[in-house]
Amino acid sequence: AQKITQTQPGMFVQEKEAVTLDCTYDTSDQSYGLFWYKQPSSGEMIFLIYQGSYDEQNATEGRYSLNFQKARKSANLVISASQLGDSAMYFCAMREGITGANNLFFGTGTRLTVIP
């Protein structure tokens, strides 16, 4: 089974509007971390936001917030007040366990296009 599922291959949003990018995950671990990364056309992976499995509050970083619903195993990214520079690929990722050298499992990504 896929550990990370992103069901939206592409999304469009009007500039200045908010958009939600979906992500569901699958793990039997109690301790895990969820991440969102942005990959512009240049290729670099830019860290956006992190949510730990034991964090009770939804993570927020500026215009980014993570809608964490543990029972549903979802970790949707919400981008508020979209900007043209937000157009990029967005990847949801998970690491099982908190310490150690465990790697990240990535979803297939969502391509976001912000329309002027």
Partner 1 sequence: GAVVSQHPSRVICKSGTSVKIECRSLDFQATTMFWYRQFPKQSLMLMATSNEGSKATYEQGVEKDKFLINHASLTLSTLTVTSAHPEDSSFYICSARPGLKNIQYFGAGTRLSVL
* Interactions with partner 1, residue window 94-113 (CB under 8 A): 95, 98-99, 101, 103-104, 106-109
CA separation for the pair 63, 108 (Å, rounded): 23
Least distance in angstroms from the C-beta of 61 to partner 1: 11
Running DSSP on this structure, what letter comes out for residue 84? G
The region of 16-24, 35-43, 66-74, 80-88 touching partner 1 under the rule CB under 8 A is 35-43
Footprint on residues 48-67 left by partner 1 (CB under 8 A) = 50, 52
- 34: nearest Cα among 50, 58, 56, 54: 50
Binding site for partner 1 (CB under 8 A): 33, 35, 37, 42-47, 50, 52, 91, 95, 98-99, 101, 103-104, 106-109
